[in-house]
Structure 1
Amino acid sequence: MCRGTSSTAASPRWRRPSPGPRARAPTWPLSSIRSEGSNTDRGAVDASPTEDTTMNYGRRKTDWGMYQSNEILSRPPEALVVLLYQRLLVELQRADRQIGAGELEGKAVSLSKASSILFELMGSLNHEVGGEIAGRLAALYSYFVREIHEVDRSLDRKRLQRLVEVITPLHESWSRAAQQSVGGAPVAGSNTAPANP
């Protein structure tokens, strides 16, 4: 056959094979298959839903997430600020370790989370009630965001450690303020040394 000519009879048209039916996972747990010694017919399957099914597990997981959300949202605003500061410190310390280990993707994620927390803190400021203090905090949070972006670009661990040293006293101050607002009871997340998950 010559080049440039086409022949439909010589070369059949290629078509993608159809995927066919896909196997689906059973909706019941494997433990629900009755053993030979049971009083029902051999090999019979009990398809009744149990607590171990995937669907129920997902629902329980969602219920737990809703419980956690409700628990957090029912706290006083000062306690929420303390939790945000604590998480901010955790993310910054994690980023420091990741920079040291050369985990650049993880560092980027941690610093992005830290920036998001700072934007949340900025959004929580009430400039009408807070006045000059709210304005100063907004400027400080903006400075922190710029520093985080600079650390992300330069991988300067000393700069990141200085940032943690500046944020730690703010976390402690908010912890004390939150404790005073709830009558001296310790606020969850108010410890001065953030946990490293």
Structure 2
Amino acid sequence: MFSPGHSGANAYARVGLETGAMGASPHRLIVMLYQGARQAIAQARMHLQQGDIPGRGQAITKAIRIIGEGLQAALNLEAGGEIASRLDALYSYMTRRLLEANIKQSEAMLVEVDGLLATLEEAWLGIAPEIARMATQSSAESMR
């Protein structure tokens, strides 16, 4: 289906992603998860429009796994309090909507979940300066 050149490009992309994840801060890893889930949803929308049922299912499954095994699993419900609890509920809702989107072949539901993820990603990116400041402060205190 793909030329041999594509397999090399795919391998390069995988190595780049794995290398990026290995050297990433916890904050950056969450950004990567949001981006990965949104990319999978974009692929699901494309497959839906093309009538590619297996492709749509695989892309939606990937998004669900990123949300459940990545974002939701990263939550610390004890330390995170109400915010973590609400995010947990929101991630569960997103998972249900993605399953429903697959069953009903609903692009609107895919768009809805992508919008929720985009809002969370934007908020997460918005706290990056504060995270950097706290990391610098913590590093300076540990050197004393």
Give structure 2 stretches of 5+ with no counterpart.
1-10, 134-144
RMSD: 2.0
Label 1:69 to 1:93 Cα distance change in 2 as closer, same or farther (>3 A): closer
Letter in 2 for 1:129: A
Written as runs of structure 1 = structure 2, the 5 A alignment for 1:38-187 is 65=15, 69-119=18-68, 120-183=70-133
Q: Which runs of 4+ in 1 moved over 2 A?
A: 67-71
In the TM superposition, what whole-angstrom CA distance separates every residue of 1:58-116 from its partner, at most 9, and x where no partner exists?
xxx79x84x75354133221111011001111111110111011011110110000000
Relative to structure 1, the CA distance from residue 70 to residue 97 in structure 2 (aligned partners, 3 Å threshold; closer, same or farther) is: closer
Q: What TM-score results when the alignment is normalised by the length of structure 2?
A: 0.76
Instruction: Say how many residue pairs are matched.
Output: 121
Q: Counting helix residues as a fraction of each chain, which structure ranks higher? A: 2
TM-score by length of 1: 0.57
Q: Percent identity?
A: 29
Q: What is the CA distance between 1:145 and its match in structure 2? A: 0.3
- Higher RCO (CA < 8 A, seq sep 6+): 2
> 1:78 touches 1:177 (CA, 8 Å); kept in 2?
no
Q: How far apart, in 2, do the equivalents of 1:71 and 1:101 lie?
A: 32
Task: Give the conservation status (yes or no) of the 8 Å contact 1:118–1:145.
Answer: yes
Larger Rg, first or second structure (1 or 2): 1
